[in-house]
């Protein structure tokens, strides 16, 4: 079975609409001018009515792109290839671009403070207030009922509307649903026309399948394995082309497709080989959208794409999900040497051994492309956050790690990462200009008579800065429904049609906003250092330690050596565990009253993106021995200054109440390639599941290979590493990213 022809066909097309070709110097959609003309002719139209008009214009004007070596249909040609619907690289971003100024207009002074905090590395200011990324279509509901069912629900909701705003929302949703129906029908016509132009029997068969299926899917619920695959891919791609939000998730594939496959197999409608071929063709699309032969710095978003699929875990009733589709997906990803789509494998203490073995095959061959989501940690955390158990069991990850209850929410998982290490920095290093620009004023540690005063000072500074950030998001972000309502996406989301309210206005069943905390271990280790050296051992005074930190440890080598020998997170001592617990419990308790831009809660998380590099230069020396500019720490991963065994690390993490952190809690570790076998990996994965940690990013690497790859990249083209929620070819990374990866600890277990 070969899909080389499809891979090449996709690559040839996507290079013509790549970021390098269309977006690098500013994306301009050919449809924006027509949308501008419409808005000028209707100056009294609300954002909802303008969005409905945009749906119609896109559906009418787009030209279907048909791939002759594929039975799937979806490419509308209105987005930059790599964008996943990023509104500034998509025709559907017109309304957001038009109204983006409203974020600043809501409170210009507050906007400037918020953005300044982002520039200084206190928190991420992407968005700025809502998260326009990390969306997931309501696959389960649509696969079960079809869009026609949602259309009928919308029609039934119209007479129940009690305000013009409700009526406009429902009418816009109806317009969007009909636009999607029209889009699918246009694909049917285009595929049928293309059948007349091909002589290749397989191409003719694929095009005939697409022409027949697009007439009804996804308007009607799919009945076969192939139709279900068509629905998933179409909804992912067309959703990204219509609403001005990024659609990252491809779905929980084995849960959604397993029964379809078994029914087709039982009646002789499909064979294993035919189903596997469809899976391969389905998956190869995203891997073909980005030119992975380019260097990361010359590529869109340093070669990170959002396309994510989920495997394993359980269904809504708690039944284990592991079937033939599970193994097909893992096999296809491995055999076709894909980097994308990202695969998140859900595991638990009871995961089938053959499932874990199929996953671990990749790690043992040096392919670090899979991450682990822990049902035993994430599901209880979602339930504690107020989600129904049957909903919580159907969670997915919306990109790198952001937990989303599929079909019920947009969790806004990654637009306001908060840098705990920077607040340690600001508690020590005076910087009047920074405080003036950001409005975040920190008390210094100088003169603290005891550790309790030190702890209280740092924690009060942290909480004040978090509350300021969240307060700005909650107040200024309320303009989101006027910036970019998304009635098409909302209509498919539980709660929105029932309440006749867009998700941007809080119409979803759940309306959380993620609050990811970064550099937790730097905070813990810094406080432990002060506690131990200054107030217990009395090795130095607090002022002496602060002087050394302010000097960036220059001239204080002996003291720094003492620091690096103190207690630290991950050593599984009562002292470090107790302090880590206290910190997390306090942050949780002191943020429960915060309300986000959609009226919901902020749900805490512990994970880090590329900020471990990007914020390093903005975070000055800290008491844990870290120097200014040194790389920061990922999630729950211990400092790279400390070399620990995995057992003590996992035992430390297991003492934390991570159910308070439902956005996810992530640990990133590297193991020695060649020094571990499948049984050892399986044992590690089961121990991780029992710990309650939400997610594991795993690498199996050989440090000598990494160092040699820096000198001889031609020898290591297929060396793939897991970075910050995505994987990449090591030799395509810039030197700083390579050095950061090499500097990570390699654990033993």
CATH of the domain at 371: 3.20.70.20
So what's the pLDDT on residue 413? 84
The Cβ-side half-sphere exposure at 369, using a 13 Å CA radius, reads 31
- C-alpha 583: how far from chain center: 25
Please state whether the predicted TM-score (pTM) of the whole model is above 0.75.
yes
Question: What's the CA gap between 415 and 401, in Å, rounded?
Answer: 13
Question: What's the CA gap between 588 and 582, in Å, rounded?
Answer: 10
Element holding 396 (H helix, E strand): strand 395-397
Residue 439 lies in a domain: no
Task: Read off the pLDDT of residues 189-240 as tens digits, 9 standing for 90 and up.
Answer: 999 999 999 999 999 999 999 999 999 999 999 999 999 999 999 999 999 9
Task: Read off the pLDDT of residues 616-667 as tens digits, 9 standing for 90 and up.
Answer: 999 999 999 999 999 999 999 998 888 778 999 999 999 999 999 999 999 9
Question: What's the CA gap between 121 and 618, in Å, rounded?
Answer: 6
Residue 658 lies in a domain: no
Sign, CA dihedral 196-202-207-208, equals positive
Residue 711 lies in a domain: no
Q: Could you tell me where the DSSP H helices lie in 385-428?
A: 389-392, 420-426
Give me the residues of the chain with pLDDT under 50, please.
Answer: 1
Residue 432 lies in a domain: no
Residue 201 lies in a domain: yes
If you search the block for the tokens 């119209």, which residue do you land on? Answer: 158
Phi, psi dihedrals of residue 559, rounded to the nearest 5°: -65, -40
So what's the pLDDT on residue 641? 87
Residue 41 lies in a domain: yes
Residue 447 burial by Cβ neighbours in a 10 Å radius (0-12, 13-18, 19+): exposed
Residue 635 lies in a domain: no
So what's the pLDDT on residue 748? 80
Residue 670 lies in a domain: no
So what's the pLDDT on residue 642? 81
* Structure token digits, residue 553: 């440890």
Structural domain range at position 254: 4-99+130-405
So what's the pLDDT on residue 414? 87
Q: What's the residue count for the chain?
A: 749
Domain count, the chain: 1
The Cβ-side half-sphere exposure at 498, using a 13 Å CA radius, reads 8
Closest CA to 164 of 55, 46, 40: 46
């Amino acid at each position: 079975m070969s899909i080389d022809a499809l891979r090449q066909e996709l690559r040839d097309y996507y290079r013509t609409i790549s970021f390098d070709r269309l977006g690098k110097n500013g994306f301009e959609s050919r449809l924006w001018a027509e949308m501008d003309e419409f808005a000028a002719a209707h100056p009294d139209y609300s954002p909802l009515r303008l969005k409905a008009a945009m749906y119609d214009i896109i559906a009418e004007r787009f030209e279907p792109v048909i791939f002759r070596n594929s039975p799937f249909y979806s490419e509308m040609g209105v987005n930059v290839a790599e964008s996943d619907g990023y509104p500034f690289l998509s025709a559907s971003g017109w309304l957001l671009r038009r109204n983006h100024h409203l974020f600043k207009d809501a409170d210009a002074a507050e906007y400037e403070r918020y953005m300044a905090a982002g520039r200084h590395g206190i928190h991420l200011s992407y968005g700025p207030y809502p998260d326009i990324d990390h969306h997931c279509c309501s696959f389960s509901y649509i696969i079960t009922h079809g869009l026609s069912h949602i259309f009928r629900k919308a029609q039934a909701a119209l007479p129940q509307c009690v305000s013009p705003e409700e009526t406009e929302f429902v009418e816009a949703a109806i317009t969007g649903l009909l636009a999607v129906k029209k889009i699918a029908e246009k694909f049917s016509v285009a595929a049928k026309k293309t059948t007349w132009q091909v002589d290749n029997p397989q191409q003719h068969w694929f095009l005939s399948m697409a022409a027949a299926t697009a007439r009804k899917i996804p308007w009607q619920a799919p009945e076969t394995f192939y139709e279900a695959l068509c629905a998933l891919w179409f909804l992912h791609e067309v959703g990204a082309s219509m609403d001005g939000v990024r659609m990252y998730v491809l779905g929980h594939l084995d849960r959604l497709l397993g029964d379809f496959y078994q029914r087709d197999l039982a009646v002789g409608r499909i064979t294993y080989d035919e189903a596997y071929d469809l899976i391969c063709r389905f998956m190869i699309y995203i891997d073909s959208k980005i030119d992975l032969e380019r260097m990361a710095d010359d590529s869109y978003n340093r070669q990170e794409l959002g396309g994510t699929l989920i495997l394993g875990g359980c269904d809504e009733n708690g039944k284990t999900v592991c079937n033939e589709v599970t193994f097909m997906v893992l096999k296809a990803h491995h055999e076709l040497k894909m980097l994308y789509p990202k695969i998140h494998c859900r595991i638990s203490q009871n995961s089938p051994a053959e499932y874990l073995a199929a996953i671990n095959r990749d790690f043992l061959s040096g392919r670090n492309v899979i991450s682990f989501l822990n049902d035993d940690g994430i599901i209880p955390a979602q339930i504690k956050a107020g989600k129904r158990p049957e909903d919580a069991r159907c969670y997915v990850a919306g990109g790198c790690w952001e937990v989303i209850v599929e079909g019920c929410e947009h969790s806004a998982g990654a637009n306001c990462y908060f840098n705990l290490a920077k607040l340690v920095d600001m508690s020590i290093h005076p910087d009047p200009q920074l405080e003036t620009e950001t409005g975040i004023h920190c008390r210094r540690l100088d003169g603290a008579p005891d550790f309790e005063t030190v702890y209280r000072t740092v924690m009060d500074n942290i909480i004040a800065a978090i509350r300021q950030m969240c307060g700005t998001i909650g107040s200024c972000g309320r303009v989101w429904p006027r910036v970019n309502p998304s009635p098409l996406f909302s209509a498919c989301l539980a709660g929105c049609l029932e309440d006749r309210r867009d998700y941007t206005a809080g119409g979803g069943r759940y309306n959380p906003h993620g609050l990811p905390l970064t550099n937790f271990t730097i905070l813990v280790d810094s406080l432990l250092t002060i506690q131990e050296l200054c107030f217990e051992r009395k090795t130095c005074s607090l002022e002496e330690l602060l002087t050394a930190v302010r000097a960036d440890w220059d001239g204080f080598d002996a003291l720094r050596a003492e620091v690096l020998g103190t207690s630290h997170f991950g050593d599984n001592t009562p002292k470090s565990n107790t302090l880590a617990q206290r910190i997390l419990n306090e942050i949780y308790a002191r943020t429960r009253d915060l309300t986000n831009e959609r009226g919901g809660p902020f749900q805490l998380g512990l994970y880090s993106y590329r900020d471990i590099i990007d914020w390093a230069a903005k975070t000055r020396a800290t008491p844990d021995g870290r120097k200014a500019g040194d790389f920061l720490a990922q999630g729950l991963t211990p400092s790279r200054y400390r070399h620990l065994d995995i057992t003590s690390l996992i035992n430390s993490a297991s003492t934390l109440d991570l159910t308070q952190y439902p956005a996810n809690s992530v640990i990133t570790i590297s193991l020695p390639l060649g020094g571990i076998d499948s049984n050892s990996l399986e044992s590690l994965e089961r121990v991780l599941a029992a710990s309650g940690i939400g997610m594991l990013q795993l690498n199996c690497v050989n440090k000598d290979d990494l160092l040699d790859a820096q000198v001889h990249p031609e020898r290591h083209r297929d060396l793939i590493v897991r970075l910050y929620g995505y994987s990449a070819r090591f030799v395509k990374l810039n030197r700083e990213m390579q050095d950061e990866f090499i500097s990570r600890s390699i654990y033993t277990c």
